[in-house]
Chains A and B, each alone.
Chain A
Amino acid sequence: EPEVTQTPSHQVTQMGQEVILRCVPISNHLYFYWYRQILGQKVEFLVSFYNNEISEKSEIFDDQFSVERPDGSNFTLKIRSTKLEDSAMYFCASSGSWDSRGNQPQHFGDGTRLSIL
């Protein structure tokens, strides 16, 4: 079964450094997402991406965050100047087009654990 893949599985970065988290969504999916989960807390939406542009973003997704689909397969999340509070698990997800029952479910990658020192 096709799956969303994320690399790296664990990223350790010094505070203030830039970090890029990479994702390869399921190949025929059209909608892409980033979520984050601070340790022990709930999963929070960051941003959604469709047709090569951001379709929605949350309050968390401020100017230090950006997303990009640089080619036909990758979907990246960049954090420009990391802070301690950016430490979390970051999940990429993708979903296909709508079917007869409505919205397709989002399939998640295994996550990248980001640790800011």
Chain B
Amino acid sequence: AQKVTQAQTEISVVEKEDVTLDCVYETRDTTYYLFWYKQPPSGELVFLIRRNSFDEQNEISGRYSWNFQKSTSSFNFTITASQVVDSAVYFCALREPNNAGNMLTFGGGTRLMVKP
């Protein structure tokens, strides 16, 4: 079973639209960590946010906001007033502390295309 599921493989919006990228995760741990990374067309992975399972406060950073819902095991990412520069693949990732190596388990990614 997938530990991190990003059901939307591709989303296309027009500039200035709001868009939400879904992430659903699966873990037996009571403490865990969730991350979002951005992969622009140039290929690098850019860290966006870390969320601890015991910190349920939602976070906003400029046009980006994250909605962590423990009850539904979801950690969704919303971009408000999208811009062309937001076009990228976005990955959600999970880190479970019971694995010794700090490994991240990534979802399959959502390709976001923002058209002018």
Contact = CB atoms under 8 A, between A and B. Distances in A.
Interface of A: 31, 33, 35, 41-45, 47-48, 50, 54-58, 89, 91, 93, 95, 101-103, 105-111, 113
- The main secondary structure of chain B at its interface with chain A is loop
Interface of B: 31, 33, 35, 37, 42-47, 50, 52, 55, 91, 93, 95, 97, 99-109
A91 B37 CA distance: 13
Contacts of A110: 42-44
Nearest to A45: B103
B97 to A, nearest CB: 7
B70 to A, nearest CB: 15
A28 B12 CA distance: 40
Contacts of B55: 101
B99 A105 contact: no
B101 A89 contact: no
5 contacts: A56-B100, A89-B43, A95-B102, A103-B33, A108-B37
